[in-house]
């Protein structure tokens, strides 16, 4: 087992960072892409030389079910087309773990497969849930993958007041793919990737 930072401290710091993003004023964000169902905004990240993306859309299901499909676990692999494998490396409590996941090659393999090792934490937020994560500097590496890095990211899911069986899902993502790919190419692809994420998630929930 690798030496981890204090889990409670890391979880609290991560949650507070995500709430800080969630409370940013609207004028800080610029629209990157919009469809009828989903809007994607972005702003320069304070963590690295790339963008922090914000995604928001309504999902036709209750918050618990939505987050169960997003958080680390077997549900995620069933529907997330970007994810090729997912393993839980350390389990602390029901809502807290270290996971390793790999992504398939993208853009006709211009972006080669990536591996991430993330600390993941799910906690109550208002009437719904927040599932958040951050990459760890995990020493064990596999040569066939480039190790990517997720700066603080997460998903807030709360019931719609006027329709409690539906949920407002808001995500914050800032991914550094590393390797040879320029960050600008990642940023260009990210908005479309996030819109597809909502569509895939909604289809999976309808089947569930």
pLDDT tens-digit profile of 38-97?
Answer: 999 999 999 999 999 999 999 999 999 999 999 998 889 889 988 999 999 998 877 999
8 Å CB contact between 53 and 42: yes
Helix or strand (DSSP H, E) at 75: helix 74-79
Q: Does residue 208 carry a pLDDT above 80?
A: no
pLDDT of residue 5: 66
What is the chain's mean pLDDT, rounded? Answer: 90
Q: Does residue 108 carry a pLDDT above 80?
A: no
Q: How confident is the model at residue 138 (pLDDT cuts 50, 70, 90)?
A: confident
Region 20-30: mean pLDDT is 97
Phi and psi at residue 103, to the nearest 5°: -110, 150
3-state secondary structure of 16: helix
Q: Which string of b and e fits 12-38 if b means at least 16 CB within 10 Å? A: eebbebbeebeeeeeeebeebbeeeeb
Which of 40, 22, 57, 14 lies closest to 198, judged by CA?
57
| DSSP letters spanning 104-130 | --BTTTTB--EEEEEEEEEEEETTEEE
Write the pLDDT tens digit of every residue in 4-14. 668 889 999 99
Of residues 138 and 62, more confidence is placed in: 62
pLDDT of residue 152: 98
Of residues 153 and 2, more confidence is placed in: 153
Q: Show the tokens assigned to 138.
A: 């995990």
3-state secondary structure of 87: strand
pLDDT of residue 135: 96
């Amino acid at each position: 087992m690798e030496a981890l930072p204090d889990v409670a401290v890391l979880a609290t710091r991560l949650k507070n960072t995500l709430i800080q993003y969630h409370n940013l004023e609207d004028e800080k964000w610029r629209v990157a892409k919009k469809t009828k169902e989903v809007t994607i905004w972005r702003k320069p990240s304070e963590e690295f030389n790339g963008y922090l993306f914000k995604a928001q859309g309504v999902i036709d299901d209750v918050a618990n079910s939505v987050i169960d499909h997003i958080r680390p676990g077997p549900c995620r692999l069933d529907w997330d087309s970007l994810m090729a494998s997912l393993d839980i490396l350390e389990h602390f409590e029901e809502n807290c773990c270290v996971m390793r996941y790999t992504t398939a090659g993208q853009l006709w393999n211009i972006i080669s497969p990536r591996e991430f090792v993330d600390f993941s934490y799910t906690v109550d937020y208002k009437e719904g849930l927040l599932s958040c994560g951050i990459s760890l500097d995990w020493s064990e590496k596999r040569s066939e993958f480039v190790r990517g890095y997720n700066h603080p990211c997460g998903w807030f899911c709360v019931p719609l007041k006027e329709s409690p069986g539906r949920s407002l899902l808001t995500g914050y993502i800032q991914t550094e793919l590393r390797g040879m790919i320029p960050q600008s190419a990642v940023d260009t692809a990210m908005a479309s990737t996030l819109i597809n994420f909502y569509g895939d998630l909604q289809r999976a929930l309808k089947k569930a």
